[in-house]
Amino acid sequence: MELGSTDVVVPPRAGWQAPKGTLTPLYVIAAVVAVIIVVWLGSVTVATGSPAIALFALSVLALMGVGIGILAAKARATRPLVVRVAATTDTVTFDAGDGTRPLLRSLAPIGVVMLVSLIALLIRSELYGESGEAVFSGVGRFGSVVFFAVSVLVIPPSIRAWRGSTGAALVLSREGITLSVPRTGGSAAWASIGDASFASERATVLASTGSFSWASRDLASDPVVLTDLIRYYAENPAARTTIGSGTMELLHSGRF
């Protein structure tokens, strides 16, 4: 039976060092872009009195806010010498945390509102036209394709969040490991794993069947601790028989 995820503080060791810098520059850029959007779509809304344009503008601003919130939540989730883990009798799972789940769930309604507003603008002939009379004019008309695409693409990850998954997860079992992340995930049996390392803010597992990796903030766990743990199990076959509750004891002790 799997227990709920819990944070485990690993005893002092050489762990992950968070990159210097903050999200402040990102917040500043987002604020500038938000002002540009408000001025751009606000002027068109005033000129046309269109509620559809106002709805589109609100959906764009909401999407920006949620995006920044997700990045901020991910930045807070990964902490040095802390792992977020759930254990069964023979597996352990390190996930991405649930701090982003409420935000991810909000993406679907925002995407639907954006898509509906774009379709309404297209039907009402307010999407394309002369400058000041429509949302997109001139070469800017190609920009509408981006918004149509974004409104659709944000829905699938939101649906996954409603189903209980936030996407990224690393599962260690007595047979091998499985990494679930977009594009760079993979799995391998312990016997095929040659090494696990961390460099340039990416953790990489090298196996004879191929390599796979995750970024430092993909999981809500210290990536250096995780690569040390993987290397420990790869080099000590006898220790793999304790994966599960034994892993919890190992993490608390730090002796790996």
User: CATH number of the domain that 220 lies in?
Assistant: 2.30.29
3-state secondary structure of 220: coil
- Count: domains in the chain: 2
pLDDT at position 131 over 60: no
Which pLDDT score is estimated for 106? 92
DSSP 8-class letter at 15: -
Average pLDDT of the chain is: 86
Which pLDDT score is estimated for 203? 96
My answer on whether 59 and 154 are in the same domain is yes
Secondary structure (DSSP) of 79-145? -TTEEEEEE-SSEEEEE--STTHHHHHHHHHHHHHHHHHHHHHHHTT-SBSSBTTBSB-GGGGGHHH
Percent of the chain exceeding pLDDT 90 equals 46
Helix (H) or strand (E) segment spanning residue 13: none
Q: Stretch 78-101: mean pLDDT, rounded?
A: 87
My answer on whether 153 and 205 are in the same domain is no
My answer on whether 90 and 213 are in the same domain is yes
My answer on whether 70 and 88 are in the same domain is no
Q: How far is CA 126 from CA 58, 113, 143, 197, in A?
A: 16, 16, 14, 54
Q: Stretch 123-137: mean pLDDT, rounded?
A: 73
pLDDT at position 117 over 80: yes
Return the closest-CA partner of residue 206 out of 217, 219, 218, 197: 197
For residues 172 and 78, the model is more confident at 172
Helix (H) or strand (E) segment spanning residue 241: none
Which band of pLDDT confidence, cut at 50, 70 and 90, is reported for residue 57? Answer: confident
**pLDDT per residue as tens digits for the range 174-231:** 999 999 988 899 999 999 999 999 999 999 999 999 999 999 988 999 999 999 999 9
My answer on whether 94 and 212 are in the same domain is yes
My answer on whether 148 and 250 are in the same domain is no
Which pLDDT score is estimated for 112? 94
Q: Stretch 92-112: mean pLDDT, rounded?
A: 87
My answer on whether 106 and 180 are in the same domain is no
Which pLDDT score is estimated for 224? 95
**Which range marks the domain in which residue 9 is found?**
1-17+80-98+166-256
122 contact partners, CB below 8 Å, separation of at least 6: 128
Which band of pLDDT confidence, cut at 50, 70 and 90, is reported for residue 3? Answer: low
Return the closest-CA partner of residue 8 out of 228, 251, 250: 251
Which pLDDT score is estimated for 166? 56
What is the spatial distance between Cα 61 and Cα 67, in angstroms, rounded to a whole number? 10
Percent of the chain exceeding pLDDT 70 equals 90
pLDDT at position 1 over 50: no
Instruction: State the Rg of the chain over Cα.
Output: 23
**pLDDT per residue as tens digits for the range 33-51:** 888 888 877 787 777 788 8
pLDDT at position 97 over 90: no
CB-based burial, 191-227: b 16+ in 10 Å, e otherwise: eebeebebeeeebbbbbeeebbbbbbbbbbbbbbbbb
In whole angstroms, what separates CA 169 from the centre of its chain? Answer: 11
pLDDT at position 138 over 70: no
Q: How far is CA 9 from CA 70, 85, 248, 253, in A?
A: 24, 11, 11, 10
My answer on whether 128 and 171 are in the same domain is no
What is the spatial distance between Cα 99 and Cα 147, in angstroms, rounded to a whole number? 26
For residues 146 and 98, the model is more confident at 146
pLDDT at position 233 over 70: yes
